[in-house]
A and B are shown apart, each in its own frame.
Chain A
Amino acid sequence: MSYEQLLQYVFSGITNGSIYAITGIGFNIIYNTTGIINFAQGEFLMLGGMTSITFSRYFPLPIAVALAVIVTAIVGALIDFLVIRNLKKQSILFMIIVTIGLSILLQEAALHIWDEKVRSLPFFTGDEISSINIFGAYISPQVLWVVLICSIIVAVLTVFFKYTATGRSMRACSSNVIAARLCGINSKNMITLSFTLSAAIGALAGAVVSPITQTQYDCGTSLAIKGFAVAILGGLGNSIGAVAGGIVIGLLESLSISILPLAYKDAVSISILLLILFVKPSGLFGKKEISALKDF
């Protein structure tokens, strides 16, 4: 493999990695507040992509994306208001089943609202053939957008969860709901907020990756599995870890293409997920002391 070829693989790995990372972050927000995994996270991305494509017919791109983020955030809030809040049994098994049900519902709703056609947003800058030459390898400007938005989201979220009162209350709900309530935190509202926030971030992610991955009604599931792999790899709840995990998985995936047929690309990244789960479920950056307290 020549130097340029290797570099090209690395760049395509980073491209996929940042897409996975931006998906994985959405899982972290709800996990940080509720301690559950939202299996419908991938559908937020799909909804964000679909609505922004529809809005972009009538509005300029930035407004279309903003509207898509708002619409999806409302959907996220509604999901909590109508379903999660009213669950009689809040055990993990039931939460998993109900979010899976929601994910199917959102998918089928999208199939009936739009159709099964593959769509995509226009590229934010340039078009599909424009590329930037870095050290002899080529990269699409849209990738830079993904990386930029991904880093902004990570930075804002890190500050939000660490330094603001709301962010801290959200994390408190995750560690111990009863203790958080005793401290005067309205845990139910925090969960609604976390669903709204993760839907909004999912929608933003879905819009920004749409020109590269393209959007279809069922594109959410595969993205969600990758996003979850990335979130686990970086340690659940850790956004910076998710980015690192995303790049690791992206790189391994794109390097695997040079050895295995393309059809097995997904199998490679999911095998990595399984391996991580078996060997070190706390993730690459999870601390031993913290993971000893958790139930995997």
Chain B
Amino acid sequence: MNKKKYYPLFGLMAFIILFQLFSSFSGKEFLLIQLTMCAYYSMVIIALCTLMGYAGQISLGHAAFFAIGGYTTAVLTTLNLIPDKDNFFISLFNSLGFLSLRVNPYGIEILHFSPWIALVVAVVITYVISFIIGIPILKLKGHYLAMATLGFGTIIYRVLLGGKIFGEADGISDIPEFNIFNLLKINGDNADRIENYYAAWFIVVISMLLLINLIHSRVGRALRSLHGNEHAANSIGVNPARYKLFVFTLSAVMAAVGGVFMTHFSGSIGPGEAGVLKSVRYVAIVAVGGMANIWGALIMGIILNYLSLRGYLGSYDEAIFGVILVLIMLFTPDGIFKAGNFGSIKNFIFSKIFKKA
């Protein structure tokens, strides 16, 4: 069996650990916060990479799935059920352990759904939405597909922006922590940031493992054949509609899981997470990483999101993503990790050195 495909995974884990050690020893643990956020955004990026790079289906609405996940958990864990405490369903939920009670900083008791339930509901909702929207949308191709997914993303954005329950333009804040068996708390506390950092990257590593296996499996080959030529794939027994729907729902759910944990980590969420520019940013990162290159997408996702979250890009934040998109498409449409690129750079440097020598 070929184990080579898992080697980069060890590289990733080594990087995660080294970065943590480096930041702890140099007393810059605050750097981990942005890297934790990067991890959650990476979920969307690797999910989108599978959909776009391997199956060849563009989605300009992937931020919407991230936001659906985030908002589902935000609504469920901040909705106060105390007034309806005696309702039959609520008391049933309570006795089943679906609810949890907390006291907010103002001393008011809040009875809300537990984050576990919220996670499950978020996954189910995202799955159902992506399934329902996926059936008609994935029949479309090219710019029709791009526009339809963009339209879907815009609708979600508008609904989040206009909905009372979603906090309108302010979004939802004061979201409780996600307590995992009392071992680990997904929250924004400074004391817990190393645990949070590892938790986030654990989720990413598991997802990468799943996706690598998927890509190298029969399903993965079927997906790539769809990208190449749908009719040819169909003629050798690959059902395009089924496989496209499968990868679409899978990547939507992965994005939503990222959204759920990100929301608990940052403690708040706003409608901007579903915005068109966010979706475009994810597409840009996948394109830079080289479409059908899940590692390239992940690496560029970490670098670009990190720079952007640290604020190094300043007021040119969006502009840089635009420039990247145009330059990559112009000069190396297969991404900057294309095999030939580093070779030619190396040759270029060597030729300079030898000329001087």
Contacts and interface: CB of A to CB of B under 8 A. Distances in A.
Contacts of B142: 92-93, 96, 295-296
A94 B329 contact: yes
A20 interface: no
Interface in B321-348: 321-326, 329-331, 333
Contacts of A277: 136-137, 140, 144, 147-148, 151
Interface stretch (B8-16, B239-247, B249-257, B276-284): B276-284
B161 interface: yes
Contacts of B85: none
Contact of B316 (A37, A83, A108, A261): A108
Interface residues of A, number: 44
Contacts of B318: 104, 107-108
Contacts, number: 133
A274 B144 CA distance: 10
A94 B333 contact: yes
A180 B331 CA distance: 27
B154 A37 contact: no
Question: Is chain B's binding surface mostly helix, strand, loop or mixed?
Answer: helix
A93 B319 contact: no
Contacts of B162: 261, 263-264, 267
Nearest to B147: A228
Interface in A160-185: none
Given A96-B58, A105-B319, A232-B147, A88 B325 contact: no
A87 interface: yes
Interface in A262-287: 263-264, 266-267, 270-271, 273-274, 277-278, 281
A221 interface: yes
Contacts of B325: 97-98, 100-101, 104
Kindly name the residue among A89, A100, A267, A295 whose own CB sees the greatest number of chain B CB atoms within 10 A. Answer: A100
Interface string B123-159: 0000000000000110111111011101110110011
Given A97-B325, A101-B329, A37 B280 contact: no
Interface string B1-28: 0000000000000000000000000000
Contacts of B158: 263-264, 266-267, 270
B74 interface: no
A115 B331 CA distance: 31
A274 B148 contact: yes
Contacts of A108: 316, 318-319, 322
A94 B142 CA distance: 10
B333 A92 contact: no
Which range contains the number of B residues in contact with the other chain?
A: 35 or more
A100 B140 contact: no
Contact of B287 (A86, A97, A266, A267): A97
B280 A100 contact: yes
B171 interface: no
B147 A37 contact: yes
18 contacts: A36-B143, A39-B146, A88-B333, A96-B142, A96-B143, A98-B329, A100-B283, A101-B323, A104-B322, A105-B323, A108-B318, A108-B322, A225-B150, A263-B161, A264-B162, A274-B155, A295-B142, A296-B141
Interface of B: 56, 58, 60, 136-137, 139-144, 146-148, 150-152, 154-155, 158-159, 161-162, 168, 276-277, 280, 283-284, 287, 315-316, 318-319, 321-326, 329-331, 333
Which 5 pairs between the two chains have the least Cβ-Cβ distance? A101-B325, A263-B162, A104-B322, A108-B319, A278-B136
